[in-house]
Amino acid sequence: MKSFRKELWFETEHRRDYLNITRHVEMCLRESGITEGLCLVNAMHITSSVFINDDEGGLHHDFEIWLEKLAPEKPHSQYRHNGFEDNADAHMKRQLMGREVVVAITEGRLDFGPWEQIFYGEYDGMRRKRVLVKIIGE
């Protein structure tokens, strides 16, 4: 069994943002030399998310509105977590969108359906944060 590990660093311009990181993960896969196995991609921070969905700007705008409806940022004082912090909503948004994805590796490629793309979802950004890529297989 082979294994491969890499950290990807990202810093978003806005507090909340979506980055398509599919190519970064594909580069990790090529570097690993693994052709059959599983690839885990997870946020290493608890106020951000890794998920698979559509690379369409309208949808990302809809996600912003929708997550603000289900887990609003403000008023900050509505959350007990926000004594010394202001990011309780980011911890909730990340639960809705998910910490991680596991992707099948088949014949040296991310084994994806036609529209699957991997995103880093940031809910408390404007600082450097990490995503972990771990691949095991042969």
Which residues of the shown chain bind its own copies in the complex (CB under 8 A)?
A: 1, 3, 5, 36-38, 40, 42-46, 51-54, 56, 58-59, 61-63, 66, 70-71, 79-83, 88, 91-92, 94-104, 106, 111-116, 130, 132, 134, 136-138
Nearer to its own copies, 13 or 58 (CB): 58
Q: How far apart are CA 117 and CA 114, in angstroms?
A: 9
Q: For the CB of residue 33, give the shortest distance to its own copies in the complex, in Å.
A: 14
Q: How far apart are CA 133 and CA 92, in angstroms?
A: 23
Q: How far apart are CA 108 and CA 59, in angstroms?
A: 30
Distances (CA, A) of 33 to 21, 42, 122: 19, 20, 29
Q: For the CB of residue 94, give the shortest distance to its own copies in the complex, in Å.
A: 8
Nearer to its own copies, 15 or 40 (CB): 40
Instruction: Give the number of residues written for the chain.
Output: 138
Q: Say which residue the tokens 């951000």 belong to.
A: 48
CB 89 within 8 A of CB 73: yes
Nearer to its own copies, 3 or 20 (CB): 3
Q: For the CB of residue 48, give the shortest distance to its own copies in the complex, in Å.
A: 10
